[in-house]
Amino acid sequence: MKKFFYVVLFSFFVSQLHAQTPTLTKGETISYLDKKIKESIGHNWTNNNGTIGKISSASVIQTEKGIKIEFRIDYQRTISYEFNPKLISSVTEYTNGTSSPVNEIRLSLNGNVCIHYNNGQTNSVSYGNLPYLKADADNFQKISKAFNHLKALLAAEDDPFGQ
């Protein structure tokens, strides 16, 4: 009987420790992505053809559709991607110029479900890009993990008892 009591007590403590493992909410995850994109502000962005420009502002916000990634280059050119993160099919690194301090994450989506705005022109595309500072070698993995977490949160929000 004493052994049984200790096994039950041990199981209770283990379950309490597991239950207290912190997970980010949808809002906290979007806030984290916003923090990560803002790290790229003020840095020159180059590709293999030369300078794209300096990122002058950047944000990730929650919208009715899902999220919106928006950034400005040299205070002149605005680019945005608005989509539902549930529709992300893959997260990959989109490599820019090797000397560029800014790189991009390419978010492939299930179909042309992203509203892409580029300096006055709007169209539907099957991807979204997020510039990030590559000085931190782990940034790609961290941001990728955040997008996958957001995708799972939104899927659970739609069908909390689904797979």
Domain boundaries, the chain: 41-158
Angle (CA) 85 120 92, round 5°: 30
Residues 6+ positions from 92 with CB-CB distance below 8 Å: 105, 106, 108
pLDDT tens-digit profile of 78-132?
999 999 999 999 999 987 767 789 999 999 999 999 999 998 999 999 999 999 9
pLDDT > 90 in the chain, percent: 61
Tell me how far CA of residue 157 lies from CA of 15, 19, 84, 93, 144, in angstroms. 24, 19, 13, 28, 20
Q: Which of 87, 56, 93 is nearest to 71 (CA)?
A: 56
Q: Burial code of 81-92, b = ≥16 C-beta within 10 A, e = fewer?
A: bbbbbbbbeebe
Taking the model in full, what pTM does it have?
0.82
